[in-house]
Structure 1
Amino acid sequence: MMNKTDLLFVLSVDTEEEWDWDGPFPEDNFSVENLSILPKFQKFCETLNIRPCYFVDYAAAKGIPAEGEFHQAIKNNFCELGAHLHPWANPPYFQKPNEENSHVVNLPIQQVAEKLDALLSLFAEKFSYQPKAFRTGRWGISEEIMQLLWSRGFTVDSSVYPFYQNEYFSCQGSPVLPYWPDVANVLKPGSQRNILELPVTVGFNRRPFTLANRIYQAFDSAFMQNLKANAILWHSRILRKIYMSPEVTSSDNMIRLCKAIDTSKQPIVHMYLHSSNLIQSGTGVVDHDDPYQLITTRIKNVIEHLSKRNNLVFMTPSEAKIYFKTNPKFIAT
């Protein structure tokens, strides 16, 4: 019988308002209909022993009922609450939202501080809860924001999106493993031990990922895009960039990524999704009659696959921080 190795599994859920992601950012009357499905989703997670982390933004925190099953799950330590900052939905407001300033990483640090303090005050009022985990709105992290998080008592950040960049931010060059960010360059490991960076799992169907990423970037150039080169690589299965996210990735492709991960060197899978994609037409991203069923089935399929090969250890981000502090051999250096 094959000896199973331990594999940590973290599931994080950006818990937020819904809107058409191809449309303008909402500025008022934030719709949070998706919150009604969270108790059902939490029960689903508990059947699989998953203890999710809900990264809750201001609009969602306002919309979560004062009492109920969600609060009970928090009280029973069946989940964790993290803080999630959407600039367009989090007071105080400074400018009309656009693509650039929708990314927290592009805001003046004083604006970030004021918004974060407002969010933390709401957490204290609504949940009597001090979050330890944080994720920026729309990904990306900076040295200034990391320093701000330390000053507000956070112990783990999860804003790094490996192998990803656009014209507004970049996480290229970051580790795929958890790491202690350097104070002078938060995309590189350093010597501080106050706050852990816990990237989400992104990779390719082939190893090594760093080489696969260089090939992918080369084929992602403007010239090669015109030739639809990466689409050809994808459909031929020569090279696929795969996100460990059941809202955009099929079970088969997430399992391909699991098979490509060397668990002896990368002992963690960090899956992620948005609460707004659990309901129909929540964002326009999930084209399915029953997105909840689709997403939960994909999660279950991945868990079943991983359980055959590994001894799954389910953790929240703040627990993962404690684990990696006591198991430094698994930290990127």
Structure 2
Amino acid sequence: MSGPSLLEPPGKEARAAFREGFGQRFIVTVDTEEEFDWDAPLDREKHSLVTVPALRQFQQFCEDFGVIPTYLIDYPVACSPEAPAAIGDAVANGRADVGVQLHPWVSPPFEEEVTEFNSYAGNLPFELERAKFHTLRDRIEQAFGTAPRIYRAGRYGLGPRTGEILRECGIAIDTSVRARFDYSGAGGPNYRDHPLHPYWADAGRSLLELPLTTVYWGPLRQMGNVIYPHLWRAPSMRGVLARAGLLERIALTPEGITAEEALRGVDIAIDEGLPVLVFSFHSPSLAPGHTPYVRGEADLEALYAWWRTLFAHLERRGVKPTSVSDILSSVELASSHEPS
């Protein structure tokens, strides 16, 4: 059975509940991928994996704060022996989680043309999306000795039948929905109307959607979803509104978001009662020169400083780190007592 599409905003009845005492928590997700030129057309061959060993330092950094990071791994990384060397022990001992991230242009089987439209895996023919997912999932399990239970589509590219594939492969959490963002102009999904709160993506409550956290800040934030879609023709107006303190869209990421902005975003998410705050960034930012956000050593130091600032603030606000297994055990316990 296909069930509802992950592309459709859910009804209020799909909202997930958590066990009493769960409170508010946060999870750090890492889009763990190859390095490539973000300004060049996508290419199956033009990439490298030199930043994979840097995962070891980030893992140790997280452990120092009691944080269990979730590494969402794509095919080139899954095939690199450097990945299990860097984080395999942490995964085996529950200090890190691994999940699936599908970049279709570098994931076999290679049957499609490499285009921007096809870079969203959900745009591919169903059987090809399915074959790529199976190949990647199996490769990750082989590399790390554990079956992944969480998924993020590369470029947030869910499709109308992605949920079928995830349920078939034992994936319990999808975290591809980037609420408050619309990628339809490039052929991708539109998540503008999706909620931030975790929700069940199927009637059988076997697949939990854990949207990435993005909030609006400022006096106009209640109208953010009305105003932002009209600014694509004049993107400079976004900066004008933000500098004027009227409206700002804040994603919980160190990439392009200052610590000061992120702290405001965290406080809004907490005050709105969001049970799980989902942070994200790209693993090539863990070494200088591979993303627009970390060009040199000073930028790398700033990235780690960003995380230190956010971790300290979350602790002060009483928001504890969580993990894939913790989320699943907590939400399953709560939902099992609700009427169907």
Structure-1-length-normalised TM-score:
0.87
Aligned 8 A contact 1:102 1:138 in 2? yes
Whether 1:178 and 2:198 are equivalent positions in the alignment is yes
Whether 1:96 and 2:106 are equivalent positions in the alignment is no
Q: Which residue of 2 aligns with 1:186?
A: none
Q: Which residue of 2 aligns with 1:6?
A: 23
Q: Which residue of 2 aligns with 1:216?
A: 228
Q: Which residue of 2 aligns with 1:151?
A: 168
The one of 22, 41, 57 equivalent to 2:74 is 57
* SS of match in other structure, 1:253: helix
Distance change in 2, residues 1:265/1:328 (3 Å): farther
Aligned 8 A contact 2:27 2:323 in 1? yes
Q: Which amino acid aligns with 2:297?
A: D
Q: Find the aligned partners of 1:165 and 1:255 in 2 and give their Cα distance.
A: 24
CA displacement at 1:44 relative to structure 2 = 0.1
Distance change in 2, residues 1:108/1:285 (3 Å): farther
Once the two structures are superposed, the pairs formed by residues 229-308 of structure 1 within 5 Å of their partners are 229-263=237-271, 265-308=273-316
Distance change in 2, residues 1:231/1:207 (3 Å): closer
Identical amino acids, percent of aligned pairs: 26
**Unaligned 5+ runs, structure 1:** 183-190
Whether 1:194 and 2:201 are equivalent positions in the alignment is no
Give per-residue Cα distances to partners, 1:312-331, cap 9 Å, x unaligned: 322123431322233459x9
**Deviating more after overlay: 4-13 vs 32-41:** 4-13
The count of residues paired between Structure 1 and Structure 2 equals 314
* SS of match in other structure, 1:283: coil
The one of 90, 96, 110 equivalent to 1:79 is 96
Distance change in 2, residues 1:289/1:254 (3 Å): same
Distance change in 2, residues 1:131/1:209 (3 Å): farther
CA displacement at 1:162 relative to structure 2 = 0.3
**Deviating more after overlay: 23-32 vs 132-141:** 23-32
Q: Find the aligned partners of 1:292 and 1:231 in 2 and give their Cα distance.
A: 25
* SS of match in other structure, 2:118: coil
Give per-residue Cα distances to partners, 1:82-139, cap 9 Å, x unaligned: 0111111111101331211111121111111111111122123222221100111100
**Unaligned 5+ runs, structure 2:** 1-20
Whether 1:321 and 2:323 are equivalent positions in the alignment is no
Distance change in 2, residues 1:267/1:238 (3 Å): same
Whether 1:115 and 2:123 are equivalent positions in the alignment is no
Give per-residue Cα distances to partners, 1:203-245, cap 9 Å, x unaligned: 1114785532222333x152xx17x322210111211111100
Distance change in 2, residues 1:172/1:260 (3 Å): same
Q: Find the aligned partners of 1:125 and 1:92 in 2 and give their Cα distance.
A: 18
Give per-residue Cα distances to partners, 1:259-284, cap 9 Å, x unaligned: 22244621221100000111112123
